[in-house]
Structure 1
């Protein structure tokens, strides 16, 4: 009962203890106190558990009941270990082992194995588990069989014997279910997630963790150990804010329960999460506290890990110490951290540190470990002067990254995982720049850039629970959008909105990947041939400087541009000025100042980005592949782009593949959707319907999310007029406001056949969150990733009437046979000069074709 319902067991234990004390029954009192101690441990109060178990030992000792005393010592040993007192725990289990025989002795041996495993004595622990398990089977003790299998399964995962681990834990879960112990079964499920995490299978690990977490949340107690494991997995998936939050919760839970063994492990995760997020200062104190606790507990394997994090977080680079710690980490069984330490040491350029990398061989281990091993091998080959070998290692690492990303079904996980290849791609570009090879710079840039769009599409979401949660989110968002709620009454809907968004994200992380092969990046020859008479300007940041790779007239040229640091402030200032012009904020004088500031910003950015390459591009139609903050630049507004078609593409590969892949599975439907707001939307769509009488219309209350998704799935062309919002805090919840609430990026993942051309007549719909590798998250990336060839959308707010006129001009030219990029350029050129800010807020994304 202690495992099934520890609170009820505690109540019954108190009654039994009271009766035993009335009847002066020392055996009953000792057993009752042990029950109360074990219940307190299950309820994560190890200090109370230790107090009760010591009383049990004392009562049994005074009554000369050695077996009962030994059984309580066996339980006390685990609690002392929880409290971070491993030596005291070993002393107690030693006394228990000397006083027991038969089945109780087997149980004590298994508990001894738990202590040995936590002290890093793995082989001894495995022998203890296996011996105890044989005894439990002889005695048909199914509960202790399940416990032994659980502990041995976790140990097998640490040893890398994943098949054996899954077999042990699967059998343990089955036994716990047969014994009607749901909490223990949930812990076995969590441990199955741990096995998957250790093997690098993030999707399966998340699935198991979430399944177990549902039980933990219902029971009102999330174990600190489960939070630690979750934080470690989220860190591996580069979900850094979530990893930091889970680590913080683990620290708080372990500290409140005085779990001395788990508290330093939670602090270790805190330090790792801070370092991964670039918060070096925030990593120092948790790493120091963790190392001090591990040292005091004589847990040397963990102490060396904490010391490594301390050195990482210390000011300055201590190359010699990092090299020494790499050897210690290897010896302690931390291969990933050992390789990290060698790579950090080698970044200093120290010849000895670079020489250390020669011993690194990409072999077994998780994909992340093998990717980093390829980086180490490339640096080593470069140090030895073997440029060809360095390039081979870099290409091998990026191939592994493609496979790793493809195994993640969720767009968010795929995008974030691209950061694993940053060092590889940067080194490849650096080598190409040093050789002044424009073709190689383009090839390396394309190898990493927007690679998520080259992956096989994930299975479309048709999970009924996800559909239900998205519908609930729409209702809550619609409620918050109303004017009837005051600040106090909005609190609960806001909390519900955050909880639903969190649940939806967690559910989508478990998306199964597609099964088709990974697409290779476009070759330089393929890109050059696909451009025809157009010119490509692909921007690459290298060592703080922006470079332009220009492909035009069959030639590939490399042109140095401006320091990258100057671009962010100038782009932000331009966007601010254009926003004021569109929204008409301020007095006539302030609007005149905004006009001047916007024109100046456009000229300055043009001088930096396009004028230096004007002699190479001529007056050709432009395909621009931006980087970083330049993804939000209104490219068509730059003076060099005046009147000519400009297509903004996530990568040259995405552009060239989009131009040639006109899909035959789409029908020729033209779908027009208009929400009731903004006021111009319905009028805009009705005017467009006059141009295309056969178009399908969804207007006002008919423009629901479900109806819109059903209508646009498989259509050739789509026009949506609605309010739009880019969620910088959570880009996958960027949305268009329809009749029944927001149409989010998550909703778009249900499309099985995305339209070829999508026009979003709304504010901010072309904005994206930019991640390493120029991976994008937002409405634009979602539609292009789903298969859309071209998207017309805005990178800022827009004026309603000016937008209506621009959209009519765009569609008139589309019906006349112009491609979207050319049609948009002509419509922008024809817009009234006083409305230029709205007209040029729109860009043509993707391939520019339809």
Structure 2
């Protein structure tokens, strides 16, 4: 039965003198025991409060003058200090507990009181003292017949060996400790030791055993309401996922763990999570996030005097510094870490420093030194039995040799085998890529292809484990070259099967994440996710509202200063906006991580679309042109219903980039003062036609003989995205005079839309589509004609739902868009090149962001974004396009009419009316837009006015 301590609150609040007087009058053994029980219960959940109770218990025991009680209370105080990572104070308190026990004549209790000192000495990096004390206590307790307590000593010794990275010794200590504890202590105690054991098994690549132990332990801790122990499991599970290459799952576990540690004020444990999260972010090439994590944890470790932990974090931080071209700082950080590990005689961490130093040296081109450091690291890591890490070091050594033309193929093959054995798919891909490059330089194309194919396959396996979009894109940033080298090797040989395989490889590397989103949009069952955290949902809503307020107030457009000059829109300070965006982006990431389940950890890994399927989807008079680039040259695949061909080196990437800059300059000239434009109409028109002739010469003329029919599907690549190929000029004609053109982010994305269209049985007759239309107009300075535009479209689509001005709200969009076959939005848009998923469309009461559309479900044949630059995108690795276009395609729109630049209001309205007039008469979307642009060209000859819009998706 619990004992009430009526004077507890008064004593806790009293100053030392008043407390002493009070305790002299009221203290009794039962009350002290009750205070001890409170302190022990609070140690894990609220160590500060546990310490207050333990100190009060110490004072009460001192007032009673009972050594045995004083021993127990001092021990409780020591445990509270340990929970707070105040290890020097913990050692003093535990030694005091032992002395009180000795004065009470209880040698056994004195030995038990000192067990916790082992772990605190380890945290203070007084390893030799800790080892000696562990041996002394184990032997003494065994002599006393204390099997259970000697088992606890072994567990503490295991923790000590773990901290010194001596995994075999830690494994032995934990195993022996468990043998002595089983059947003698409570199940939760066994579970905590098994968690430690699982961590060691993870390091030793015994992943399945570790996973089983973690799963059972966490289940038990959750049932007991033990938040601290559950958070420890999550920390360790995060590390297990990290070494297994499952980075999204790793960060999800780390995020749960960190949040739990923060909630119970365990700063040191939260800092340890930060250090591990830094490693994961670094592996994903998310360098700013990694640096933030390292800086945060190093500050805590230095404050706590934890040189080992801070040195480990410094090693990871050095990689980030080197990647940011801060090589000198990186080398200094590694030197500091190495000095710490040498002082602690930690050979394993010294080897880790050598591995990272080799990486930094290789990155900076100091190859001979890099190979030397890598060889040193490999020897020590192999000696320690860490063969996966040893393979990382050996890769650097032999990659240097292969790049220098030395035949290091046999040892690099060994790296491949080790990487495969230890589930390091990314390393396996790099090693195979290195071998492929070597054989290609040696002229052995067959062997080169063998290794490059294997490198692509290994990378496919690695990237499949990174499901969260932002992580996936960053992860690929330094890995895409293996696809390019395989394509180059295949096309250099140039047999027809090689061309087919090269196209397959291009598609594997192109817009895969967008393809998955498009396919998910078609699969409503796949849209489900985990239940959202209510607190996080509320925070997201608040940040979302704040972001919209900033957008309304600032009108953040690219070229905002020109906009201000033209229409008087004020441009404010962006600092607050950027802060809100950063907070919102972080909250969105937390929400994505919270939705990471075994079912969502991996990409769907859809098989690439086979050539035969692409050809079957093409009409007899239709040609698909897919551009790609490697070694700085542009090449084009030309696919018809009956054939496939490729043209190499049709242009240089640098040449097309220069042409794109010239085009932007000519378009911007039209945005100048009206009087200037009117005076120089002919000159401006002639100047842009010269650029558009170059566009035709570079991208269409070399492949024109291969084109069949009058319909083109164009799949751009890299710098070609956003170019108006339909406006490319050949003599007096433009490309759209010869062909009806649609664009697609990838051939597979286009094919998915065609398949969906066929499955729905889309009817060409207009009535079935036009009676289910949504028209919305939000007039603003510079786009005053959008209301007239929508009114005239309503006359063409009489069954449409129309919302003007204040009625054009986000709620109206969310309610009616999912039920509409046509969506037309005439409003202001902003494109954020620095943050493209925060690009948006203005509604009367807020902004619709590209990222918002990920949660929207559309089933429309056409979404027209009649606003400035709605087709602008930021191209990320893997040719992933980010912007409003991505959002609408991901939501389920099968085709989009988007603008490539900010066309004039009157010309846009004219194009739109003629475009929808064609649709209302039953013309296909692509043909209707082409006809509209040709007709508007008669009134507005400059391409700025008539060529701004392009159709993306199905015809």
TM range (shorter): 0.7 to 0.9
SS at match of 1:822: helix
Q: Give the root-mean-square deviation of aligned CA atoms.
A: 4.1
Are 2:713 and 1:623 equivalent residues in the alignment? yes
- 2: distance between equivalents of 1:269 and 1:471? 35
Structural mapping, 1:794-813, within 5 Å: 794-813=899-918
Contact conserved, 1:354 with 1:379, CA < 8 A, in 2? no
Residue of structure 2 in register with 1:321 after alignment: 372
CA 1:841–1:274 in 2, change beyond 3 Å: closer, same or farther? farther
2:626 is aligned to 538
Q: Quick check: 2:338–2:350 contact (8 Å CA) kept in 1? A: yes
**CA–CA distance in structure 1, aligned partners of residues 69 and 688 of structure 2:** 85
- Out of 330, 334, 338, the residue aligned to residue 291 of structure 1 is 338
2:608 aligned partner: 521
| SS of equivalent residue, structure 2 residue 480 | helix
Superimposed CA distance per residue, residues 725-751 of structure 1 (whole angstroms, 9 cap, x where no aligned partner): 233333333322234423233332234
Give the equivalent residue in structure 2 for 1:833.
940
> Does residue 729 of structure 2 align to residue 674 of structure 1?
no
Q: How far 1:154 sits from its partner (Å)? A: 1.6
Asked if structure 2 preserves the Cα contact closer than 8 Å seen for 1:422 and 1:772, the reply is yes
The equivalent of 1:632 in structure 2 is 722
Distance 1:729 1:273 in 2: 21
Question: 1:262 and 2:309 equivalent?
Answer: yes
Aligned residues: 848
CA contact (8 A) 1:721 1:761 kept: yes
Question: Is 275-284 or 784-793 further displaced after alignment?
Answer: 275-284
1:505 to 581, 589, 597: 589
- 1:172 counterpart = 2:239: no
1:365 match: secondary structure: coil
Alpha-carbon distance between aligned partners in 1 of 2:260 and 2:912, rounded to the nearest angstrom: 52
Contact 1:549 1:558 (8 Å CA) reproduced? yes
Any conservation in 2 of the 1:754–1:783 contact (CA below 8 Å)?
A: no
1:557 aligned residue = 646
Larger CA deviation: 549-558 vs 807-816: 549-558
Q: How does 1:394-793 map to 2 (within 5 A)?
A: 394-402=452-460, 405-406=463-464, 408-419=466-477, 422-436=480-494, 441-455=502-516, 457=520, 459-460=526-527, 463-465=531-533, 471-483=541-553, 498-509=582-593, 510-511=595-596, 512-513=599-600, 518-524=605-611, 526-527=613-614, 530=618, 532-551=620-639, 554=643, 556-568=645-657, 570-572=659-661, 574-575=663-664, 577-579=666-668, 581-582=670-671, 601-614=691-704, 616-617=706-707, 620-640=710-730, 641-644=734-737, 645-665=740-760, 668=769, 670-678=772-780, 679-713=784-818, 715-793=820-898
SS at match of 2:407: helix
Q: 1:347 to 1:62 in 2, by over 3 A?
A: farther
CA change 1:430–1:31 in 2 (3 A) is: farther
What does 1:229-240 correspond to in 2, within 5 Å?
Answer: 229-240=276-287
Q: CA deviation at 1:350?
A: 3.1
Q: Which moved more, 1:632-641 or 1:2-11?
A: 632-641
Counterpart CA distance in 2 for 1:293 and 1:449 is 45
Contact 1:26 1:63 in 2 (8 A): yes
Q: State the TM-score, normalizing by the size of structure 2.
A: 0.78
Change (3 A) 1:516 1:124: closer
Contact in 2 for aligned 1:81/1:261 (Cα 8 Å): no
Report the CA distance shift for 1:548/1:92 in structure 2 as closer, same or farther (over 3 A).
same
1:119 corresponds in structure 2 to 164
Aligned-partner Cα distance in 2 for 1:154–1:730: 38
Please, which moves more after superposition, 13-22 or 254-263? 13-22
Q: 2:123 aligns to what?
A: 82
Q: Distance in 2 between matches of 1:482 and 1:517?
A: 38
Residue 186 (1) aligns with residue 249 (2): no
Contact 1:149-1:171 within 8 A present in 2 as well? no
Q: Tell me which of 95, 105, 109 is aligned to 2:150.
A: 105
Give SS of 2:584's match: helix
What are the ranges of 5 or more consecutive residues in structure 2 without an aligned counterpart? 1-41, 556-569, 763-767
Q: Deviation of residue 801 (structure 1)?
A: 3.1
Q: Which moved more, 1:99-108 or 1:633-642?
A: 633-642
Distance 2:124 2:665 in 1: 55
Please list, as runs of the form range in 1=range in 2, the aligned pairs for 1:205-224 lying within 5 A after superposition: 205-222=250-267, 223-224=270-271
Deviates more, 1:638-647 or 1:582-591: 582-591
| 1:337 lines up with 2:395 in the alignment | no
Distance verdict in 2 for CA 1:353–1:27, change over 3 Å: farther
The Cα shift of 1:431 comes to: 0.9
Q: Of the candidates 70, 75, 83, which is equivalent to residue 42 of structure 1? A: 83
Contact 2:298 2:314 in 1 (8 A): yes
Q: Report the Cα offset of residue 8 of structure 1.
A: 0.9
Query: CA shift at 1:15, angstroms?
Result: 3.2
Deviates more, 1:122-131 or 1:514-523: 514-523
Deviation track 1:339-376 (CA, whole Å, cap 9, x = no partner) reads 64256425624323334223223445144345445545
The Cα shift of 1:524 comes to 4.4
2:44 match: secondary structure? coil
Provide the C-alpha distance between the structure 2 equivalents of 1:768 and 1:285, rounded to a whole number of angstroms.
Answer: 40
Q: Answer whether contact 2:839 2:850 (CA < 8 A) is retained.
A: yes
Cα 1:191–1:324 change in 2 (3 A) is closer
CA distance in 2, matches of 1:754, 1:416: 31
Query: Conserved in 2, the CA contact under 8 Å of 1:475 and 1:740?
Result: no
Whether contact under 8 Å (2:865, 2:897) holds in the other structure is yes
- Closer/same/farther in 2, CA of residues 363 and 45 from structure 1, 3 Å limit: same
- What is the Cα deviation at residue 400 of structure 1? 4.9
Runs of 5+ unmatched residues, structure 1 = none
Residue 807 of structure 1 and its aligned partner are, at CA, apart by 1.6
How far 1:793 sits from its partner (Å)?
A: 1.3
Question: Highest CA radius of gyration, 1 or 2?
Answer: 2
Deviations 1:243-263 (A, max 9, x none): 332233222332232222211
The answer on 1:200 being equivalent to 2:245 is yes
Q: How does 1:343-382 map to 2 (within 5 A)?
A: 344-345=399-400, 348-359=403-414, 360-361=416-417, 362-372=420-430, 374-375=432-433, 378=436
Quote the offset at 1:107 in angstroms.
1.3
* C-alpha displacement of 1:662: 1.1
Retained in 2: the 8 A contact 1:114–1:125?
yes
Q: Tell me if the contact between 1:170 and 1:192 (Cα under 8 Å) persists in the aligned partners.
A: no
- Check 1:346–1:192 CA distance in 2 against 1; reply closer, same or farther (3 A cut): same
After the TM superposition, which of the residue ranges 786-795 and 511-520 deviates more from structure 2?
A: 511-520
Measure how far apart 1:778 and its partner are. Answer: 2.5
Give the corresponding residue for 2:198. Answer: 153
CA offset at residue 191 of structure 1?
Answer: 2.6
In structure 2, distance between residues paired with 1:89 and 1:807: 79
Q: In structure 2, the residue corresponding to 1:2 is in which secondary structure?
A: helix
